[in-house]
Structure 1
C-alpha cells in the first residue's frame, strides 16, 4: 500500500509499490494532477485512474481498491469508492493531522510525538513493509 500524511499545510507520501512481498517500484509518483485537482493515491496502482475517473463522474464498476487524499480548490478530502454508497468524500480539517495507507498507525504515532508530515512518512517506512522509496512532500497551502 503506502503512507500518505497531511500536517500543517503539507502532504507527504512515499513512492514504493509492492505486489505481495515484492517491491516492484521504489520511485513511483503517487500524486496525480488532473484539471487542477491533486490526487495523492493509495492502494492498488491499477485502480488509481479508475478512482479519479469516478471522482469526475464516471460510473463505479466493480471493486476499486484505492483511496486518495484529494486537494480540490481550498478543500482537502479523503476519497474512496465502496459497493454500498459509491464515491464518498470525507472532509479533512486543515488544523488537524491525517494519514491514510498501510503505515497510518506509525505515521499518527510519529505526529503525536511532534513529527512533521515528511518525518512521519519516514518513520512509517521504518516499520511498515509497504512504505518506502523516495519520500516526497507538497505544500498545499501558502506558508503563513
Structure 2
C-alpha cells in the first residue's frame, strides 16, 4: 500500500509499489494533480485515476480500491469511494497530525512522539513492508477562501 502523513502544513509520502511480497517500483510518483487539486494516493495503483475521476463527478462503475489525502488549495481531506455511499470526503484538521495507508499506526506513533511528517513516513518504512523507496514532501500553501 503506502504511507501518507500530514503534519504542520507538510504532506509526506513514500514511493514504493508492491505486488504481493514483491517490490515492483521504489520511485513511483503517488501524487496526481488535476484541475489544481493534488491527490496523494494509496491503494491499488490502477484505481488512482478512477478515484480522481470520481472526485470530479464520474460515477464509479465498481469499487475503487484507493484512498487519497486531497489538497484543493484551501482545505485538506481524505477521499475514498465505497459501494454504500459512493464518493465521500472527510476533513483533515490542519492543526493535528493525520496519516493513511498501511503504515498509518507507525506514522501516527512517530508524529505523537514529535516526528515531522517526513520523518514519520521514514519511520513507518522501517516496520511496514509496503512502505519504502524515496520519501517525497509537499508543503501546503493554503489560499484564502
TM-score normalised over the length of structure 2: 0.97
1:38 aligns to what? 38
- Coordinate RMSD, CA, aligned: 0.7
In the TM superposition, what is the alpha-carbon distance from 1:113 to its structure 2 partner?
0.4
Moved over 3 A (4+): none
Structure 1 runs not aligned, ≥5 long = none
Structure 2 runs not aligned, ≥5 long = none
Given that 2:16 and 2:25 are in contact with CA atoms closer than 8 Å, whether structure 1 keeps it comes out as yes
Residue 136 (str. 1) matches residue 108 (str. 2): no
1:26 aligns to what? 26
1:62 aligns to what? 62
2:118 aligns to what? 118
TM-score normalised over the length of structure 1: 0.97
In the TM superposition, what is the alpha-carbon distance from 1:52 to its structure 2 partner?
0.3
In the TM superposition, what is the alpha-carbon distance from 1:61 to its structure 2 partner?
1.3
1:73 aligns to what? 73
Deviations along 1:77-101, one digit per CA (max 9) or x if unpaired, are 0000000000000001100000000
